[in-house]
Structure 1
């Protein structure tokens, strides 16, 4: 079972600080997970510029120019955010039975020593 899924709120825990132009400490939603490369795309984090060649669409409008979009980060550089404390936390799994009586594994945010 994956620790981080699409739509989760995560925080960048490594890299350059925001004071030095980096993304460490920023929080955002996971837009995409690239399982083969162990990478995630986080909303509003790790922007890169891409030069797109000028072309035409079917309607005749011009496309191209310089675009900015989010680039993938390695999954080890982000941590899931605890919904209660809004701080990065580790993830655990618990076996529970749902309303239909089926046994399922559920993710939960572990409490760190500082939060107790």
Structure 2
């Protein structure tokens, strides 16, 4: 089970954007990277072209670049501070069948599993 998922609120813990928080837009599992909303902007030069309607496209665009997963930490929803993620097994009953499910939770500092 992944520590960071799409939609999580994360904080950058190292690099030029250190201390900034944002929501995860996309997780690139193969590359161990995440794209965070509003963080790590890069400029991209796009070649000028035309659409079928005749409008011009291209120019200089800015968009978010990936950040390595080790440089971000999940934010605890209660304290709004970066924290580590733990997993616990909970019994969920669905249609009369009990099943063990691993559930993510934000650990407090110093807390053990």
2:38 paired residue among 40, 44, 47: 44
The alignment's C-alpha RMSD in Å is 0.8
Structure 1 unaligned spans of 5+: 16-21
Using structure 1 for the length normalisation, give the TM-score. 0.89
Question: Is the partner of 1:106 in helix, strand or coil?
Answer: strand
**Deviant stretches of 4+, over 4 Å:** none
Separation in 1, partners of 2:47, 2:91: 54
Q: Which structure has the highest helix share of the two?
A: 1
Q: How does 1:1-116 map to 2 (within 5 A)?
A: 1-15=1-15, 22-100=16-94, 101-113=98-110
Using structure 2 for the length normalisation, give the TM-score. 0.92
Separation in 2, partners of 1:45, 1:107: 25
Q: Deviations over 1:40-63 (max 9, x none)?
A: 000000000000000011211100
Q: Which structure has the highest strand share of the two?
A: 2
Alignment length, in residue pairs? Answer: 107
Separation in 1, partners of 2:52, 2:88: 52
Separation in 1, partners of 2:52, 2:92: 51
Structure 2 unaligned spans of 5+: none
